[in-house]
């Protein structure tokens, strides 16, 4: 036998199709997760499907992103999600409990399970040996309603890890190094599967740091085998019964293999404004820092925070630095509070936030103008921290802590103390922030005034015409298309309001251009729509009348989101034709639904350009029906 671990799990959950690269398959979904900033849409969509109960083994709704309650909007959204959870028997994780991905590892992740989540960092669960995929919200709503997920089988990229990390070098440096060699597009079309001797020296949460940032590679997901280290973690969490071994066959076949010697790696930093703009710290000239932020779903585990506490013990945060720490979960917060580490952090002068996403999504702690902010997070896109002129650098917790003391970016190789963390034999876990499904549940749904109906497209028109509203460069993120910060995030359930901020990092009048011209087209470069899974980056353009996005290539989740809402993602047959289209050009496509799976002729005045729709027959059907919700409602009715 020569099967990869990923294909074994997909085959175990297979409902329809053959697990071979490029094939479309339908798989059983064991678990789903949502968070609040994508969750309101998910549950509005679930409601409109008219199902009486969910069909996953279990589903969890987390409140972790929009927890800064500066007005009634976020609290109303929380209440809406809570009432939906009661109605559909979904587990509800209250605000303050922590970040969905960290809690999934601790309380719910099961090796060998398939998890679908409405957040791009869902692959964090791959650290536990799950196939954990981040998708748009509608895919999660359908997974809850049907227990199924349809996907194109990715190829497998094997990363073989040899050797052992040196002191001061950590899992974050491993994934930053991988981003340096592969780039933010390097994982597109792949599942990244880790193997090799080096695995033995990586803890469960080290592995989760690595699979988490597989999202930044553009990969469908990343996965580690479940082994004795996984078992030990689940025992500590009082979940031994959830454990089983899963690994690839000895002579597993992979589409591509890369070998990395862990002992050769050095501390790394991702420089502004992209997670793949990576350099060795030793090659960076002295960089004074203004803010240091420790936390996020990438680096907020128990051992991450304990390392930080060890480094800060008896020391003082530099007077020119604001150090802010957001623990990953309430359980971690409690343990570091019980064992005294929290006191050490406070004594050093750190600012402690409640467990949640916090500054990672610009929910507070926006740095000052032109600040240098060092963060243990996973994304450093321009403006995401809430301050457009700030420069965000991504580093490991060790680097962040020593730099907070010194006031400038410092290599953790300079740390003299021992950084080994002895984890407790068992964590004292509590579940008091969860509300579990009740027998006699209420079916009443609470909806605040900020929750507005979402736009829904009708059947696909025969001919598409309009102007090019915007032409962008390469690697445009969903943070560019639909920015997020403390001011805008409360409107995630109010698409009309949100539409005023579309493409806000690039231009400030996209909505006006779109309204004036009755919608139109967007032209993009390569890897268009990388980053977050937010389907708002598709729903808002739909609301503003965007009919198709024409790009050199698309990021996976955003492309699916466009199809799901009914906007056609088209690519240039000849990439150089990108140069032939300009903003304000009038363009015309005839008989679109007939030619979807063929060459598509685009006419601009006297020029003709050939485009392609790179989707399956099913994707074409979805587009013809005006989106995945219309398609799913039809399927659920059995029409």
* Complex with ligand MIC: residue 345 or 555, whichever CB lies closer: 555
Binding test (CB under 6 A) with ligand SF4, winner from 33, 91, 133, 357: 357
Residues with Cβ within 8 Å of residue 506, at least 6 apart in sequence: 470, 472, 476, 480
Report the relative pairing of strands 155-162 and 256-261 from DSSP bridges. parallel
The span of 12-20, 245-253, 357-365, 406-414 binding ligand SF4 (CB under 6 A) equals 357-365
Which stretches within 63-197 are classed as H helix? 72-88, 100-103, 137-146, 171-182
With beta carbons less than 8 A apart as the criterion, state whether 278 and 176 touch: yes
Residue 361 near ligand MIC by CB under 6 A: yes
DSSP for 497-565 reads HHGGGTTTTT-S-HHHHHHHTTSEEEEE-TTBTBS---THHHHHHHHTTEEEEEES-B-HHHHHHHHHH
The answer to whether residue 296 forms part of the interface with ligand SF4 (CB under 6 A) is yes
Beta pairing, strands 58-62 & 155-162: unpaired
Q: Residue 286 pairs with which residues in a beta bridge?
A: none
**360 belongs to the binding site for ligand SF4 (CB under 6 A):** yes
- The answer to whether residue 151 forms part of the interface with ligand SF4 (CB under 6 A) is no
CB 383, min distance to ligand MIC, A: 12
Min separation Cβ 331 and ligand SF4, Å? 16
188 binds ligand SF4 (CB under 6 A): no
Give the residue with the Cβ less far from ligand SF4, 117 or 455.
117
* Separation between Cα atoms, residue 238 and residue 226, nearest integer Å: 17
Residue 99: which of ligand MIC, ligand SF4, none does it interact with, CB under 5 to 8 A by kind? ligand SF4
Among 300, 330, 533, 561, binds ligand MIC (CB under 6 A): 533
Q: Is 119 exposed, middle or buried (0-12, 13-18, 19+ CB in 10 A)?
A: buried
Cα gap 270→375, rounded to integer Å:
10
For the CB of residue 192, give the shortest distance to ligand SF4 in the complex, in Å.
18
Q: Which is nearer to ligand SF4, 119 or 480 (CB)?
A: 119
Pairing of the two strands 278-280 and 268-270 = antiparallel
Interface segment toward ligand SF4; rule CB under 6 A; list 151-159, 186-194, 355-363, 443-451: 355-363
Assess 304 for contact with ligand SF4 (CB under 6 A): no
- Answer yes or no whether residue 93 interacts with ligand MIC by CB under 6 A: no
Is residue 536 close enough to count as binding ligand SF4 by CB under 6 A? no
Element (H, E) at 159: strand 155-162
> Three-state DSSP class for 232?
helix
Would you say 286 and 390 are in contact if contact means Cβ atoms under 8 Å apart?
no
Among 291, 532, 561, 564, binds ligand MIC (CB under 6 A): 532
184 lies in the site for ligand SF4, by CB under 6 A: no
CB of 211 to ligand SF4, least distance (A): 13
Residue closest to 580 by CA, chosen among 507, 471, 487, 478 = 471
Q: At what angle do helices 617-624 and 628-637 cross, to 10 degrees?
A: 100
How many positions of this chain bind ligand MIC (CB under 6 A)?
11
Nearer to ligand MIC (CB atom), residue 83 or residue 120: 120
- Residue 120 or 226 having the CB closest to ligand MIC: 120
Which of ligand MIC, ligand SF4, none binds 296 (CB below 5-8 Å, type-dependent)? Answer: ligand SF4
**Residue 394 touching ligand SF4 (CB under 6 A):** no
Instruction: Determine if 297 is a binding residue for ligand SF4 (CB under 6 A).
Output: yes
Choose, by CB under 6 A, the member of 156, 332, 361, 502 that binds ligand SF4.
361
Q: How far apart are CA 215 and CA 226, in angstroms?
A: 20
Least spacing, CB of residue 121 vs ligand MIC, in Å: 5
Residues that bind ligand SF4 (CB under 6 A): 65, 99, 119, 121, 296-297, 357, 360-361, 378
Residues that bind ligand MIC (CB under 6 A): 37-38, 65, 119-121, 361, 484, 532-534
């Amino acid at each position: 036998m020569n099967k990869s671990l990923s294909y074994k799990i997909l085959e175990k959950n297979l409902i329809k199709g053959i697990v071979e690269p490029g094939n479309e398959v339908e798989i059983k979904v064991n678990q789903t997760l949502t968070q609040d900033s994508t969750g309101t849409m998910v549950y509005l969509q679930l409601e409109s499907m008219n199902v009486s109960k969910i069909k996953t083994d279990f589903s969890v709704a987390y409140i972790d992103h929009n927890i800064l309650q500066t007005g009634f909007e976020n609290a109303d959204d929380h209440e809406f999600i809570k009432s939906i959870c009661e109605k559909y028997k979904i587990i509800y994780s209250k605000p303050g409990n922590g970040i969905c991905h960290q809690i999934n590892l601790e309380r719910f992740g099961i090796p060998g399970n398939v998890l679908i989540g409405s957040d791009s960092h869902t692959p964090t669960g791959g650290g536990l040996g799950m196939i954990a995929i981040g998708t748009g919200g509608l895919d999660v709503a359908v997974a809850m309603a049907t227990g199924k997920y349809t996907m194109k089988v990715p190829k497998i990229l094997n990363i073989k890890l040899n050797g052992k990390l040196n002191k001061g070098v950590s899992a974050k440096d491993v994934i930053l190094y991988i981003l340096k060699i592969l780039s933010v597009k390097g994982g597109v079309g792949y599942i990244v599967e880790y193997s090799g001797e080096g695995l033995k020296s990586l803890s469960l949460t080290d592995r989760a740091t690595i699979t988490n940032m597989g999202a930044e590679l553009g990969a469908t997901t990343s996965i580690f085998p479940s082994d004795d280290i996984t078992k030990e973690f689940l025992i500590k969490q009082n979940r031994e019964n959830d454990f089983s071994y899963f690994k690839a066959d000895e002579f597993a076949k992979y589409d591509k293999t890369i070998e990395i010697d862990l002992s050769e790696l050095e501390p790394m930093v991702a420089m502004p404004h992209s997670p793949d703009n990576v350099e060795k710290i030793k090659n960076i000239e002295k960089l004074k820092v203004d803010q240091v932020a420790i936390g996020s779903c990438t680096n907020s585990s128990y051992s991450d925070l304990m390392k930080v506490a060890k480094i800060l013990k008896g020391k003082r945060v530099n007077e020119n630095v604001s150090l802010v720490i957001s623990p990953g979960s309430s359980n971690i917060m409690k343990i570091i509070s019980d064992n005294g580490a929290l006191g050490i952090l406070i004594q050093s002068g750190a600012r402690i936030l409640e467990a949640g996403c916090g500054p990672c999504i610009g929910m507070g702690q926006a740095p000052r103008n032109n600040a240098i902010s060092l963060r243990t997070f996973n994304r450093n896109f321009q403006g995401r921290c809430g301050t457009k002129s700030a420069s965000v650098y991504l580093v490991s917790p060790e680097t962040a802590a020593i730099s907070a003391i010194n006031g400038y970016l410092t290599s953790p190789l300079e740390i003299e103390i021992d950084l080994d963390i002895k984890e407790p034999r068992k964590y004292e876990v509590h579940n008091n922030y969860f509300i579990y499904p009740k027998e006699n549940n209420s079916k009443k749904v609470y909806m605040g005034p900020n929750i507005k109906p979402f736009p829904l497209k009708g059947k696909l028109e025969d001919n598409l015409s309009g102007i090019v509203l915007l032409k962008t460069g390469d690697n445009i993120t969903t943070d560019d298309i639909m920015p997020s910060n403390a001011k805008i995030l409360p409107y995630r359930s109010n698409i009309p309001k949100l539409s005023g901020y579309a493409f806000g990092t690039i231009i400030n009048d996209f909505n006006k251009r779109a309204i004036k011209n009755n919608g139109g087209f967007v032209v993009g470069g390569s890897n268009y729509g990388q980053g977050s899974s937010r389907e708002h980056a598709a729903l808002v353009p739909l609301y503003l009348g965007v009919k198709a996005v024409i790009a050199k290539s698309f990021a996976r989740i955003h492309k699916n989101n466009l199809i799901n809402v009914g906007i056609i993602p088209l690519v240039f047959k000849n990439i150089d034709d990108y140069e032939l289209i300009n903003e304000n050009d009038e363009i015309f496509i005839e008989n679109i639904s007939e030619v979807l799976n063929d060459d598509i002729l685009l006419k601009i005045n006297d020029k003709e350009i050939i485009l392609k729709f790179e989707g399956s027959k099913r994707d074409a059907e979805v587009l013809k029906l005006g989106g995945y919700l219309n398609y799913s409602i039809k399927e659920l009715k059995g029409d």
